[in-house]
């Protein structure tokens, strides 16, 4: 497999104007990653998938990161055909408040669909071009994004819809009926 420096050069040669930066990993056991500008990411991802030497055809994992200045999506890609990887690619939002859009890579790797939905739900990154961007873990109407560092858990839990309230009422009624029967039998 090519080195991260060779992959960087290949992307820059294949995608005119692509700004690719190597993000070093201080852990010697893990590979360095490539930070690619969001405007060039779809073309770079397509190149990584389709290039005859790389054939990075399998996206195994997408995760979000909350940095002090921006949000980040990190993709781990492998080649099933060539049996190599991972190559880690990442992209940052402009900021973490009102410019939180990144292009979806679901059209390139279908396995990104649910994982980008999860990142949208938990971090608030809006993936443009995603085929079904809606909440995955939290309910519709939930405010905020619980994996962000500035998230504050509410101190009033009555807002959370739950089916357990009905179960609790039935259990209390059953207990009262059973306790009433036991006291009558003992009398």
58 is a domain residue: yes
Domain count, the chain: 1
**Could you read off the pLDDT of 109-125 as tens digits, one per residue?**
999 999 999 999 999 99
Question: Which domain range does residue 95 map to?
Answer: 4-145
183 is a domain residue: no
For 79, counting Cβ atoms within 10 Å of its Cβ (0-12 exposed, 13-18 middle, 19+ buried), the class is: buried
14 is a domain residue: yes
**Could you read off the pLDDT of 21-69 as tens digits, one per residue?**
999 988 888 889 999 999 999 999 999 999 999 999 999 999 999 999 9
In CATH, what number is assigned to the domain containing residue 101? 3.30.460.80
Whole-prediction pTM value? 0.81
Report the C-alpha gap between 16 and 126 in whole angstroms. Answer: 25
128 is a domain residue: yes
Whether the per-residue pLDDT at 175 is higher than 60: the answer is yes
186 is a domain residue: no
């Amino acid at each position: 497999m090519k080195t991260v420096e060779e992959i960087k050069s290949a992307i820059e040669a294949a995608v005119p104007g692509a700004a690719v930066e190597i993000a070093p990993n201080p852990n010697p056991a893990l590979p360095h990653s490539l930070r690619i500008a969001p405007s060039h990411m779809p073309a770079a991802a397509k190149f990584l998938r389709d290039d005859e030497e790389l054939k990075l055809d399998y996206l195994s994992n997408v995760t979000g990161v909350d940095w002090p200045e921006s949000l980040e999506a990190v993709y781990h890609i492998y080649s099933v055909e060539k049996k190599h990887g991972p190559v880690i690619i990442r992209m940052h939002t402009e900021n973490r408040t009102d410019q939180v859009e990144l292009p979806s890579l679901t059209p390139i790797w279908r396995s990104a669909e649910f994982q980008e939905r999860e990142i949208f739900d938990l971090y608030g990154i809006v993936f443009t071009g995603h085929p079904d961007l809606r909440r995955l873990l939290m309910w519709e109407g939930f405010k905020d994004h619980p994996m962000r560092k500035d998230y504050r858990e509410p101190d009033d839990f009555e807002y959370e819809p739950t089916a357990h309230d009905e179960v609790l009422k039935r259990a209390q009624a059953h207990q009262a009926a059973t306790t009433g029967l036991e006291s009558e039998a003992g009398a």
